[in-house]
Amino acid sequence: MSTKYVYFFGAGKADGNAKMKNELGGKGANLAEMTNIGLPVPAGFTISTEVCTYYYAHEKTYPPELEAQVDAAMAQVEKAMGKKFGDTTDPLLVSCRSGARESMPGMMDTVLNIGLNDVTVEALTKASGNERFAWDSYRRFVQMYGDVVMGLKPEKKTDIDPFEDLLEKKKHAAGVHFDNELSVAQLKELVAEFKAAIKAKTGLDFPTDPKKQVWGAVGAVFSSWMNDRAIVYRRTYGIPHEWGTAVNVQAMVFGNLGDDCATGVALTRDGALGTPGYCGDYLINAQGEDVVAGIRTPLRIEETLAKDMPKAFEELDSIGKILEGHYKDVQDIEFTVEKGKVWMLQTRNAKRTGFAAVRIAVDLVEEGKITDKEAISPKRIPADDLNQLLQPVFDLAGKKAAQAGGKLLTKGINAGPGAAFGQIVFHADDAEAIFLKNPKAELVLVRRETTPEDLRGMKVAKGILTAFGGASSHAALVSRQMGKVCVVGASELNIDYEKATVTVGGKTLKEGDFISIDGFTGEVFEGKVDTKPSEVIQVLISKTMKPEESETYQRFAKLMSWADKYRTLKVRTNADEPKQATQAVSFGAEGIGLCRTEHMFFDHVDEFREMILAGDLPSREKALAKLLPFQREDFYGLFKAMNGLPVTIRLLDPPLHEFLPHDHASQADLAAKIGIPADYIARRVHELHESNPMLGHRGCRLGIVYPEITAMQARAIFEAACKLKKEGLTVIPEVMIPLVGYVAEFKNQEKVVREQAEKVFAETGESVEYLVGTMVEVPRACATADQIAGAAEFFSFGTNDLTQTTLGISRDDYGGFINHYKENDIVPNDPFQMIDQAGVGTLMKMGVEKGRSGRPGLKIGICGEHGGEPSSVVFCHKIGLDYVSCSPFRVPIARLAAAQAALADAK
Ligand code: ADP
Ligand code: MG
Ligand code: MG
């Protein structure tokens, strides 16, 4: 039997279903599913992704069986629709649509109205009794086919599209504003002009044979899988290039047959804030992409559709309910109304902002549609998206002041919640270029509308503002997905790309001027508006709001309680100060996984410098004695803030050279302050200079050469702990020796620490429980983890250094090539952001296994930057770590990611 490449759907029954996304792509699988559950879907068939793979493996040719399978499926479509493709009395028209496993909005191509030529267009006129419609369809077909299949595109990005150019000129000559105002004669002229333009540019005649047209479109869709913007998109969202796209060929239904027809896109709930009820756009007497392309300003479904087309609205409403009930999630749908009847053309789980994700998940649980476990799945709430609920929002007072100062420019549609201010930039490429030079640049991309080409620029902008398009426009969709602040359809904006200005209400702003956009309300302000903490932060951290005053907080809290119910991995925080520590505990931290003691030294840098500069032991000890009380106070504060939770303190780690002044003036200053000759300081600075400080005299190597430093730190830790014990508080210090590679290094430092503990306990008459462990951050520690664990009582992976030392890539120097590496698919991700699981991760696994063979039940955590990155958290769970430690603001994210990891495990 030959392979099945083609899957029919129609007349209430489909070969495929929603589970077959790998074969049919998301669009094809869901068209099949909707057919199966009895929704009105025009008949069609899906050519599987396997054909795409074959196409690229065989020099853009098809499996030999394909043609016969396509012919057979087309015959089924004809039967279901009661029309024949290419017929000269009542022709069937089809669309040819791309559709990958994961939706890639606007990245690939679609051609509508295939099957039209000079003969069939007349037949369509007769059959429909609507000549304008027939020619409007033909005009659109030639335009799309000419672009997508025959390749007549603007030469440079900045050039105007050749078809749009002709269309504009025609409208201008006719004295009309919109495409739907053109007469039949004008449409006929346009078709001829389009064809001539194609011929002039490509030398090719426009194909008249409907069958040839279909195959041309199929090939173009497969080819669009490898177009530049699709490749960039896949890289951004981690979609493998091997997946390939499916192609859907589907009978056309028409939204451009008159005023009882429309085309629309909608979400079954609001994708920006998650509010229940339809949220979407429609256009009367229009087709396909018109709604999202910003050709005419679309109408809002929730506002006017019930009035414009009551029957269609009712149908759509019931379809929405069926879909949500069936998919148990908010759907993003595309539909067409043909003579009052609704046809479904697409459904998929809707993209949403972090705000909406949380609201929708909690609401669906409360509506009894999903369980709390389902609510926290990474598909519904990518852990990182919680970040949006913690970001600042505009301050009401700040907005009032801006308003009073006449800074409110206009109001658009709120499409991506949050507050963003930044400098105006009009082109995505410019945004990218500015960002490459200065990654801290704060930019707001201001455009008439955005297109898939703008993706990279949108990625680097803090906010996106468009003049056209509705809640389902490209800008809105992509911002929702990226979690960007976004305002669309601010139609009063008059943007002049040539002059690089935007004019509104008599004011003109230039490129580089500051602008502020409120993604909750759609307001646009001139200049910078002050921000304030989000509601979640106000409740948890600044305590300026009570929990019961914020619904957003309550939903957040509910979600976090579900996460805590299912996770097994503990979450700690990296914090050096009591304030940070307290914040982290409010975010749910269960201890400190890393306190970097050098941060404390920077606060008393002169005394510390004196210690470094000391020429002999007595003077070093004298300097250390000055530092001791500071350190003790710092530890006291931190322990107290953690109130019984474990605190891991890393002993001094960075190369000493970092602390010394490097220029003459500051050396002279220091000399005067601490009474040491400046030339001595200069000599010492010179001596301490290293050509590779990251691999130099640092970590435990410092304490081994200068044990008195370790002794002072240990004493400070235990004195603080004993003092608190006396005051009735529990303290569990965990002393961490950094950069250990040899067990002998560890033992050397452990001895110093334990001696101090005993001394302090004897002196104070108090004692506390404590652990001495190590930070695992060089490959040798992983390779000899069994030996090290024989002595060390806990491990904590320092994945920043472990990545540097495993890859031999310096984190301070990789900026010059990492982007090139990512863009050329040499590395899948930045290894300093996401654990390099195959390399560094393998060493970690080895460290865990060997470590626990040396000491059963060894407590192991991670305190590198990776500890708050969701995919790394999942990895840490998999390899059996006890906890992750991350910066305070990432604690909620890590909690959710840990629960997601535990639930994925349970499956
Ligand atoms: P994309 O993946 O970019 O959304 P689609 O394949 O969904 O592209 O096509 C875009 C739009 O074209 C659809 O939203 C729909 O409005 C219109 N369309 C596609 N196929 C048909 C069809 N068979 N009948 C009517 N409209 C269609
Ligand atoms: Mg679509
Ligand atoms: Mg380190």
**Residue 294 has what pLDDT?**
62
pLDDT tens-digit readout, 585-627: 999 999 999 999 887 887 888 888 999 988 888 989 999 999 9
pTM of the model: 0.84
253 lines ligand 1 (CB under 6 A): yes
**For the CA of 252, the nearest ligand:** 1
Instruction: Report the catalytic residues.
Output: 474, 863
Find the helix or strand (DSSP H, E) in which 733 lies: strand 732-737
Find the helix or strand (DSSP H, E) in which 322 lies: helix 310-327
Contacts of 892-895 spanning 24+ positions with Cβ under 8 A = 892/386, 892/390, 892/556, 892/560, 892/587, 892/588, 893/383, 893/384, 893/386, 893/387, 893/868, 894/383, 894/571, 894/867, 894/868, 894/870, 895/560, 895/563, 895/564, 895/567, 895/571, 895/588
Instruction: Give yes or no: residues 617 and 738 share one domain.
Output: yes
Instruction: Give yes or no: residues 293 and 396 share one domain.
Output: no
Q: Is residue 873 part of a domain?
A: yes
Q: Is residue 176 part of a domain?
A: no
Instruction: Give yes or no: residues 526 and 572 share one domain.
Output: no
CATH number at residue 510: 3.50.30.10
The domain boundary, picked from 287, 321, 351, lies at: 351
Taking the alpha carbons of 659, 661, 666, 667 in that order, is the dihedral positive or negative?
A: positive
Instruction: Give yes or no: residues 815 and 707 share one domain.
Output: yes
- Pairwise CA distance, residues 640 & 642, whole Å: 5
Q: Is residue 310 part of a domain?
A: yes
- Pairwise CA distance, residues 598 & 651, whole Å: 8
Residues with CB under 5 A from ligand 3 (ion): 777, 798, 801
pLDDT tens-digit readout, 66-91: 999 999 999 999 999 999 999 999 99
Nearest atom, ligand 1, residue 44 CA? 23
Q: Percentages helix, strand, coil for the chain, rounded to the nearest 5? A: 50, 20, 30
CATH number at residue 577: 3.20.20.60
User: Percent of the chain having pLDDT more than 90?
Assistant: 78
Residue nearest to atom 22 of ligand 1 (CA): 252
- What would the 3-class secondary structure string for 157-218 be? CCCCCHHHHHHHHHHHHHCCCCHHHCCHHHHHHHHHHHHHHHHHHHCCCCCCCHHHHHHHHH
**Residue 106 has what pLDDT?**
76
User: What confidence category does residue 293 fall into, taking pLDDT thresholds of 50, 70 and 90?
Assistant: low
Name the β-bridge partners of 525.
Answer: 408, 516
Mean pLDDT of 746-765: 98
Q: Which residues of 488-500 are buried (b: 16+ CB within 10 A; e: fewer)?
A: bbbbebebeeeeb
Residue nearest to atom 15 of ligand 1 (CA): 288
Q: Is residue 548 part of a domain?
A: no
Instruction: Give yes or no: residues 466 and 579 share one domain.
Output: no
pLDDT tens-digit readout, 304-352: 999 999 999 999 999 999 999 999 999 999 999 999 999 999 999 998 9
- Pairwise CA distance, residues 400 & 207, whole Å: 61
Q: Does the annotation flag 798 for ligand binding? A: yes
Instruction: Give yes or no: residues 486 and 344 share one domain.
Output: no
Taking the alpha carbons of 364, 366, 369, 372 in that order, is the dihedral positive or negative?
A: positive
* CB of 85 closer than 8 Å to CB of 44: no
Mean pLDDT of 618-637: 94
Instruction: Give yes or no: residues 843 and 711 share one domain.
Output: yes
Domains held by the chain: number? 3
**Residue 291 has what pLDDT?**
75
**Residue 831 has what pLDDT?**
93
107 lines ligand 1 (CB under 6 A): no
pLDDT tens-digit readout, 474-523: 888 888 877 789 999 898 999 999 999 999 989 999 999 999 999 988 99
97 lines ligand 1 (CB under 6 A): yes
289 lines ligand 1 (CB under 6 A): yes
pLDDT tens-digit readout, 776-792: 999 999 999 999 999 99
C-alpha 456 to ligand 1 mean position (Å): 25
**Residue 238 has what pLDDT?**
83
Q: Is the pLDDT of residue 252 over 80?
A: yes
Q: Is the pLDDT of residue 295 over 70?
A: no
The domain boundary, picked from 532, 559, 582, lies at: 532
Mean pLDDT, the chain, rounded, equals 93
Mean pLDDT of 717-740: 96
Instruction: Give yes or no: residues 400 and 321 share one domain.
Output: no
Rounded-to-10 torsion of CA 259, 261, 267, 271? -30
Nearest to 653 by CA among 576, 581, 586, 723: 576
Instruction: Give yes or no: residues 504 and 585 share one domain.
Output: no
Single-letter amino acid, residue 805: T
Instruction: Give yes or no: residues 516 and 571 share one domain.
Output: no
- What would the 3-class secondary structure string for 27-89 be? HHHHHHHHHHCCCCCCCEEEECHHHHHHHHHCCCCCCCCHHHHHHHHHHHHHHHHCCEECCCC
Structural domain containing residue 782: 567-655+690-906
Ligand 1 pocket mutation pick from 289, 339, 455, 478 by most atoms within 8 angstroms of CB: 289
C-alpha 27 to ligand 2 mean position (Å): 8
Single-letter amino acid, residue 113: N
User: What confidence category does residue 397 fall into, taking pLDDT thresholds of 50, 70 and 90?
Assistant: confident
pLDDT tens-digit readout, 206-234: 999 999 999 999 999 999 999 888 998 88
Nearest atom, ligand 1, residue 94 CA? 23
Nearest to 631 by CA among 612, 609, 608: 608
Instruction: Give yes or no: residues 412 and 313 share one domain.
Output: no
pLDDT tens-digit readout, 157-191: 667 889 999 999 999 999 998 888 999 999 999 99
Q: Which pair of structure tokens corresponds to residue 21?
A: 């996304």
Instruction: Give yes or no: residues 346 and 397 share one domain.
Output: no
Q: Is residue 812 part of a domain?
A: yes
Q: Is residue 99 part of a domain?
A: no
Ligand 1 pocket mutation pick from 34, 81, 95, 137 by most atoms within 8 angstroms of CB: 95
- Pairwise CA distance, residues 528 & 408, whole Å: 11
Q: Is residue 192 part of a domain?
A: no
Q: Which residue has the higher pLDDT, 814 or 442?
A: 442
Q: Which pair of structure tokens corresponds to residue 575?
A: 């914090």
The domain boundary, picked from 297, 319, 351, lies at: 351
Residue nearest to atom 8 of ligand 1 (CA): 110
Q: Does the annotation flag 165 for ligand binding? A: no
112 lines ligand 1 (CB under 6 A): yes
**Residue 602 has what pLDDT?**
79
CATH number at residue 271: 3.30.470.20
Q: Is residue 517 part of a domain?
A: yes
Q: Which residues of 419-439 are buried (b: 16+ CB within 10 A; e: fewer)?
A: bbbbbbbbbbeebbebbeeee
User: What confidence category does residue 793 fall into, taking pLDDT thresholds of 50, 70 and 90?
Assistant: very high
C-alpha 103 to ligand 2 mean position (Å): 9
